[in-house]
Amino acid sequence: MKVILTGSAGQLGLALRSSVPDLIASEPVELVPTSRNGGDGVLALDLADAAACRDLVEQHRPDWLINAGAYTAVDQSESEPELARAVNAGAPSAFAEALQATGGRLLQLSTDFVFNGSQGAPYTTDQGVDPLGVYGSTKAAGETASAAALSAERLCILRTSWVYGPVGHNFLLTMLRLMAQREQLGVVADQVGCPTATSGLACACWAVLEHGVAGVQHWSDAGVASWYDFALAIAEIGQAAGLLEKPARINPITTADYPTPAERPSYSLLDCTSSRAALQLPPHHWREALGQVIAQVAA
Ligand SMILES: NC(=O)c1ccc[n+]([C@@H]2O[C@H](COP(=O)([O-])OP(=O)(O)OC[C@H]3O[C@@H](n4cnc5c(N)ncnc54)[C@H](OP(=O)(O)O)[C@@H]3O)[C@@H](O)[C@H]2O)c1
């Protein structure tokens, strides 16, 4: 089974590259990783170049393409909407068109930020989207464009939330750095969602390919947290793991106290019940996953 992976230098891409199964659906796996700059066995691909995205599929004719690459700088996207749209909507659209012609399948990663966060209950996979900012709008446009171009049974849209891992740019690593440098830290307590470790998310991606899952799916770790809860757990577990001698005091603040260019959903929990059944994967609580990731960072 030939699998193209985009964004292979990103958080999820790295987790996918380090967990490639020997066999998927009883076939040996040939992974074709791509990243912005390429090198060292990785092909260079600019996701803002739709023609290059189409050419790659036509040349390699993969069984699956996992589109883990994205413009993920949520605040910066407000001042670069065209680039964000080209990467987050143009690339999946081009991949879907080309895969429709070659007969391949697409796993398109998407986000809880396609929802406005106002319903105050977990979002199910069949609910309509209503993004608040440029990032969420462009990711939602990527979902719509890929669904318009590719047969439904060959497309899986996997939405996830609050992704972090032992490498890359993420909340865990930022908090560990700031907690070691400062005495006090204000962290937003009125945005609620669920952290998701890249290791579990990578397992979910491979399960999509293994079971040939299609449609809109939701995957996050289990449980609920505010960013404040997440930060407190990082301090506690990070200190126990020896990463922090005396962590900064964490104070709860409101979204209004910490204005950002992009508006974020205040409640973006994803209901993963039906997807856990489809992917045949058990729930894994976010605190347990956090402990495992912190142990990796400390090793
Ligand atoms: N991070 C989250 O909290 C979160 C939450 C929900 C959903 N998601 C989704 O999950 C997926 C994986 O996210 P992640 O956390 O692994 O993101 P990430 O660490 O930011 O990785 C994204 C990768 O895409 C690459 N990329 C961006 N623009 C590109 C371009 N024009 N050409 C080629 N490559 C480009 C980036 O390369 P550079 O580093 O060179 O820019 C980066 O390696 C994405 O679809 C994202 O939207 C993420």
| Sheet order of strands, 43-44 included | 43-44, 30-35, 2-6, 64-67, 105-111, 155-160, 215-218
Per-position pLDDT tens, the chain of length 299? 999 999 999 999 999 999 999 999 999 999 999 999 999 899 999 999 999 999 999 999 999 999 999 999 999 999 999 999 999 999 999 999 999 999 999 999 999 999 999 999 999 999 999 999 999 999 999 999 999 999 999 999 999 999 999 999 999 999 999 999 999 999 999 999 999 999 999 999 999 999 999 999 999 999 999 999 999 999 999 999 999 998 899 999 999 999 999 999 999 999 999 999 999 999 999 999 999 999 999 99
Short-list 105, 70, 116, 112, CA closest to 213: 105
Active site residues: 135
| Atom in ligand 1 nearest the alpha carbon of residue 14 | 16
Distance 228 CA to ligand 1 centre (A): 24
Q: What pLDDT does 252 receive? A: 97
Distance 12 CA to ligand 1 centre (A): 8
| Atom in ligand 1 nearest the alpha carbon of residue 168 | 19
Distance 69 CA to ligand 1 centre (A): 4
Report if pTM > 0.75: yes
Q: What pLDDT does 247 receive? A: 87
Q: What pLDDT does 100 receive? A: 98
- Ligand 1, CB within 6 Å, residue ranges: 7, 9-13, 35-36, 45-48, 68-72, 87, 109, 111-112, 139, 160-163, 168
Q: Please name the residue whose Cα sits nearest to atom 42 of ligand 1.
A: 10
Strands 64-67 and 249-253: unpaired
Strands (E), the chain: 2-6, 23-24, 27-28, 30-35, 43-44, 64-67, 105-111, 155-160, 163-164, 184-188, 192-193, 196-197, 215-218, 225-226, 249-253
DSSP track, 77-106: GGT-HHHHHIIIIIHHHHHHHHHHHHT-EE
Short-list 21, 95, 85, CA closest to 53: 95
Q: Please name the residue whose Cα sits nearest to atom 34 of ligand 1.
A: 36
Q: Please name the residue whose Cα sits nearest to atom 4 of ligand 1.
A: 163
Distance 8 CA to ligand 1 centre (A): 9
Q: Please name the residue whose Cα sits nearest to atom 11 of ligand 1.
A: 68
